[in-house]
Amino acid sequence: MNETNRVDQALADLAAAGKKGLLPYVTAGLPDLATTERVLDALAALGVTAVELGFPYSDPIADGPTIQASYTRALDAGVRARDILTMVSRFRKRSQLPLLAMLSYSIVHRIGLTTFIALARDAGIDGLILPDLSLEEAPQISQLIAEAGLRMPMLVSPASTPERRRKIAATCTGFVYYMSVTGITGERDQLPPELVANVRQLRQASGKPVVVGFGISTAGHVRLVCSVADGAIIGSALVRRMMEAQDANGTTDAIVSAATDAVREWMTGLP
C-alpha cells in the first residue's frame, strides 16, 4: 500500500504544528455497536488524534475492572470481532479518524493471522495493539502487519529493563505505547514522578513518537503527560462515564453526550 497510514499522518501533523494529541479508548459494543459508531462520530468532530477501539474478550490481559466490566456488557449483548469490523467499515465511509484495534492476540489467532490482518485493513483499521503478544513473536507479526499498511504499537512497562525497552521500541510501528504504571488499566489519583524522565529517555532512544496510557484520568494528567510525550490515552475514565450514563439513563444520546463531555474536558489539558 502506498498511501500514508492515518496514524502516521496524524502524529506527523501534530509534530509539525508543535501540538500533542488525545487518543481516547472506547470499548466496541458498549452498550451496542450503533452507539459505538455514534461515539466515534462525536469524537471525530471534537478533533481527537485517534481512537483506540477495544475488542471485548472474556479473559482480558492488562485491563482493570472498569474495562473488564464493559467487555462483559458487550459480550453479553452478543458483540463479536467481525461485527466490530463491519461497523468500522460503515464508519470509514464518512470519516478519516485513525482507529487502532486493541485486542487479545487470541482473537487474531482464532480467526487466522493473515485473515484478520486483511479483514482489519479492508475495514479501515489503521493499527493493531496486541498486549499479550510475546516479544519473541512480535517482529515477524509486526512485519506482516506493516506489509498490509497497518501499524503495531507495543506496550512498554516502567518495570522493563533498558534492553527490553529498546527491543520493544525497535519493533513498534506507528508509536511506542508507554504504560505510566505497572499492572492493569484503571484510574489513578497521581501518576508516578519518574514518568516524565522515562518518557523523555524512551523518545530519545527510540526516535519514535511515544504515547502514554494507563492511569490517565484528568486534564491535569494529560497536561503532565503531554509535557514530554506525543499524546495521551484515556480509557477507564471514559468507559466508566459511558457505563454510568447507560445505567442512569440508558439512551444512546445520554451515552454519547457523556463521552463527548468527558473528552472535551480532557482536551483542555493539551498544550
Cβ-proximal residues to 223 (8 Å cutoff; 6+ apart), any chain: 269, 270, 271
Instruction: Measure the CA–CA gap between 142 and 164, rounded to whole angstroms.
Output: 17
Q: Which of 32, 37, 52, 126 is catalytic?
A: 52
Q: Which of 37, 63, 126, 230 is catalytic?
A: 63
Distance of CA 235 to the CA centre of its chain: 8
Q: Exposed e or buried b for every residue in 235-244, given b needs 16+ CB within 10 A?
A: bbbbbbbbbe
**Does 189 participate in catalysis according to the annotation?**
no
Grid cell listed for 127: 493499527
Cβ-proximal residues to 104 (8 Å cutoff; 6+ apart), any chain: 55, 57, 59, 60, 61, 130, 131, 132
CA–CA distances in Å: residue 78 to residues 25, 30, 75:
20, 11, 5
Residues 237 and 262: beta-carbon distance below 8 Å: yes
> What residues act catalytically?
52, 63
